Amino acid sequence: MIQLIKDSVAKAMDYSQYNALFAELVAAGKTTGEETQEKIDYTKLNYSRTKRLDKTAKISEAAKAVFKNIENKQIWLVISEPWCGDAAQSLPFLNKLAELSENIELKIVLRDDNLELMDQYLTNGGRSIPKLIILDEDLNEIQQWGPRSEAATKLVTDYLAEHGKVDDTLKENLQVWYNQDKGVSIVNDLLKVVEMEKA
């Protein structure tokens, strides 16, 4: 497992490289992994969402103080894909948190190119993304998070319990929720993760 993590970190992109890939894909009308028109369309949509959040995402002063004071070096390895709507909502906040501390290095790998890694981090048996794996400087896993905040997960779980499937209405509801939440739930979840590390 440690070798798998080491190999994954070695080939991972930083946030600017990931966004450069994003821009190239959109310009070429392409996406990563299995190319379907739906995924190509989502990639384009997610690129505009990510760019907007990179400009507008805010972190509370209380959260900034916690992340600035992380003392031990960490690698935040994220399994993602440009076509993933939840990733587009989460990654800008993960990046802003990582930028607060010189001890956090954000790295990103594509799920479909790294299924061996992905299959170590399934959610209820599924390859759900984004998945954040927090590693210490020796690449031992400290914590993990994802694919959504606890609050967003509840929204999805409740909808599935009532309707039995992921459909366009759920996707729209989730998007509205993300817009209203403004990343607060993601940041709060990660504050809990950091507190667990200290415990």
Per-residue H/E/C for the chain: CHHHHHHHHHHCECHHHHHHHHHHHHHHCCCCCCCCHHHHHHHHHHHHHHHHHHHHCCCCHHHHHHHHCCCCCEEEEEEECCCCHHHHHHHHHHHHHHHHCCCEEEEEEEHHHCHHHHCCCCECCECCCCEEEEEECCCCEEEEECCCCHHHHHHHHHHHHHHCCCCHHHHHHHHHHHHHHCCHHHHHHHHHHHHHHHC
Indicate the pTM of the whole model.
0.95
Is the CB of residue 144 less than 8 Å from the CB of residue 174? no
pLDDT at 166 over 90: no
pLDDT one-digit tens code per residue, 104-154: 999 999 999 999 999 999 999 999 999 999 999 999 999 999 999 999 999
pLDDT one-digit tens code per residue, 30-77: 999 999 999 999 999 999 999 999 999 999 999 999 999 999 999 999
Residue 63 token pair: 């959260």
Percent of the chain with pLDDT strictly greater than 70: 99
Pairing type for strands 74-80 and 104-110 reads parallel
Segments making up each domain of the chain, as ranges: 2-147
Q: Which CATH number fits domain 2-147: 3.40.30.10, 3.30.1600.10, 2.40.50.140, 1.10.580.10?
A: 3.40.30.10
Is the CB of residue 187 less than 8 Å from the CB of residue 92? no
